[in-house]
Amino acid sequence: MFITSCSVDKYIPEGEHMLTGITVTCDDKEVLKTYALGDYVNQHTNTKWFGARVPLKMYMLSGSDTTKSSYRFWRKLGEAPVLFNSIKSEQAIEDMKKVLNNAGYMKAEVEEFKMIKGKKMNVLYNIRPKERYTLRNVYRTVEDKGLRNFITEEDTANSLLKPGLPFEVTALNNERNRISTSLRNHGYYKFTKEDIRFSADTAINSTLVDVQMRVKRQQDDGRTEAHDHQRYTIGSVTFKTDVTQPDEPTDSMNYHSYGFVHQNRLHFRKRLLISHSLIKPGHYYNENHFRRTYTNFSRLGAISFSNISMKERPGTDTLDCIIVANHAKPHSFGVDVEATNSAGDLGAALSTSYQNRNLFRGSESFTFKIRGAYEAITGLEGYDGDSYVEVGAEATLGFPAFLFPYVKREWGTEHNASSEISLQYNLQNRPEFQRRVLTAAWRYKWNTRQQHEQHRFDLIEVNYVYMPWISRTFKEQYLDSLGKTNAILKYNYENLLITMTGYTYSYNSLGAKMQTYGKNAYTIRFNIETSGNLLNALTHLVNGKTNDEGQYTFCGIAYAQYVRGDFDFTKSFRIDANNSVAFHTGFGIAYPYGNSSQLPFEKRYFSGGANSVRGWSVRSLGPGTYNGKDKGINFLNQSGDIKLDINLEYRTKLFWKFSGAAFIDAGNIWTIRDYKDQPGGAFHFNTFFKQIAASYGIGFRMDANFFIVRFDAGMKAINPAMTGLEHYPIIRPNLNRDFAFHFAVGLPF
């Protein structure tokens, strides 16, 4: 229908041309890339879906009969032909020239070429930057004697203007901003960038530029005499909390040189407010401290509103600071209902939570959550019961500080650090077994001032796995049956203690809270964790006992010992406003040693699913060439110690809140050792690359503002578990065998 639709020409008015292509070329490719000159072309061709103008074809299906409902439907859903706009084209040329002029290419030229064929037009913009102007001399005149130390002596080395550098208007503005910010950080509260002026001189037939910078004295208005800039000192700092009714009486007090004014009772500990303020009495005014204090108060969950104001004492160089902080409602309750399918057939889960945002009046956050789930299980034979029941409880206590010996409170405040203690209990009852998991953890989180880097340090996380009951049928079939004993399965259905310490580092080139989707950006994530080393040293020190499996025990419980590391890298490339490409690679390796011959189930790697190789369903790929036969325990046998993921995804905007994607995925998992229950699963340098699985497919996304709903349809392309022609299902695809559908929330990477 789309291919045979009528010509687009009849939808183009006489004398107009449909814009079918825009090309921007430049004599200097580096200039074109550095200044992104193509972005200044403010008219674009019709939207393409995976390279085809599908919305335009939809528009053309509307026809010309305005009385038909189909006319309105297709016109609304489709996109009209984009017509060339000469005014926008002229504006684009001026904008590109302005950008080049500001970058020092003062004689840059931009030419427009139109290639017309019938009612269609391609436009070419050819850019010739020509020779770039450079700085020869930079002179500084500072009329205010008090500022000379900051600008002409101490600050010259940090200047952005140096002889030999390109003459850029942007650099001049950046230098004004840098100097004015630096001075405001040293007490010059009223200094602005308008107090700095530049003049430039060029010689005839030369591209060398002499720049004169002049820093004026302060002049409050056009009629008063100019005078030296004042350097301001902070006088009093007063915290006003919950003063919402000016007519009502207030209580006031002084504490450590700070003032406190509040109505009714004070909802915060005074130390909390003081420690999160970098504005201190007797210190020079510092704009950086002013901004960071704003940030510190905004991240406190116990505060609903904050504001900082400065008031000048008449006739003095003193500023009084007032910090307003109103408390948030401390208590909140939540109820969530879920549909689940984690253990068998469809089921339901109900959870309820309580949160206190100001438990000890220091913005401590306490959360308590209870969750219960039920699922019916069909297809099991020889077991009593046909349902799965799970009950869990979790308590978390968070502190807005870095609670660690010898770490100053100011460091934690500066790095937005937090500390967290959590305790969890999980009860699982299945027809095959009953399982209990008790978890306790103490962790820290902090980030850098620029918000690009985030750190997480798990000081200690203890997991105690207790198996109070295992059915006789399950034992006979999988755990203890002669000749069928599965070592991996048996290890993970015994009582086990995991004591983990770990560190995670994350980097986002755009900032921790920025979405990289459709932008030129990259993210890095690195994690390392280890378990059992302290217990191993302790048990050896006291000559601890071993169990029947030869494992050392702590309080009669075997403990896991391993080290695990993970690395993820994601890079997105922006093609235009509607199209981008994203690349992702992830690698992980875990090594059991000492007291463990294999990894605990929770620490093993799995492949396949919505965030991995999407031609396979979750946890159904690998390890290596392993092809599971016993579907009852494949969920455990299809796990490994090494994981590799490589993904390439083309993303395109469709319409409204909907986007599409086409992807290619590759990867697999492997085991470090040869296990008889996972034949073909071991990693070997000379064969692993032959065992990498590959898939391809398309996806559909809906952006619901707060989250993204994602549907992905994947097809197997290379299946390492098969031989012969079945090893390459891309040649002979079979939907029943090779297709996998995924529903997920959030992007795959």
pLDDT in tens, 673-699: 888 878 899 999 999 999 999 999 999
pLDDT one-digit tens code per residue, 582-591: 999 999 999 9
If one compares 427 and 54, the residue with the highest pLDDT of the two is 427
In DSSP terms, 576 is beta-bridged to 579
Residue holding tokens 């029943």?
736
Rounded Cα distance, 578 and 55, in Å: 13
Average pLDDT of the segment spanning 552-570: 94
Q: Which pLDDT score, from 0 to 100, does residue 223 have?
A: 66
Rounded Cα distance, 705 and 625, in Å: 41
- Domain 233-327 adopts which CATH fold? Ubiquitin-like (UB roll) (3.10.20)
Question: Do 134-215 and 8-46+81-128 fall under one CATH topology?
Answer: yes
Residue type, 125: Y
Average pLDDT of the segment spanning 244-252: 77
- What CATH number has the domain spanning 134-215? 3.10.20.310
Q: Which pLDDT score, from 0 to 100, does residue 622 have?
A: 86
pLDDT at residue 222 tops 80 = no
Outline where DSSP puts E strands in 69-170: 109-117, 120-128, 134-142
- As a whole number of Å, the CA-based R_g of the chain is 33
Q: Which helix (DSSP H) or strand (DSSP E) does residue 181 occupy?
A: helix 169-184
User: Which residues contact residue 90 at a Cβ distance below 8 angstroms, ignoring those fewer than 6 apart?
Assistant: none
Domain 8-46+81-128, CATH class in plain words: alpha beta
Q: Model pTM? A: 0.85
- Domain 604-749 adopts which CATH fold? Porin (2.40.160)
| Residue 200 CA neighbour count, 13 Å, CB half | 15
Domain segments of the chain: what residues? Answer: 8-46+81-128, 134-215, 233-327, 342-431, 604-749
Q: Which pLDDT score, from 0 to 100, does residue 122 have?
A: 95
User: Of 749, 712, 697, which Cα lies nearest the Cα of 584?
Assistant: 749
Confidence of residue 2 (pLDDT cuts 50, 70, 90): very low
Rounded Cα distance, 734 and 321, in Å: 72
Confidence of residue 474 (pLDDT cuts 50, 70, 90): confident
Q: Which pLDDT score, from 0 to 100, does residue 633 have?
A: 55
Confidence of residue 344 (pLDDT cuts 50, 70, 90): very low
How far CA 306 is from CA of 189, 198, 324, 432, in Å, comes to 21, 39, 5, 55
Average pLDDT of the segment spanning 451-478: 90
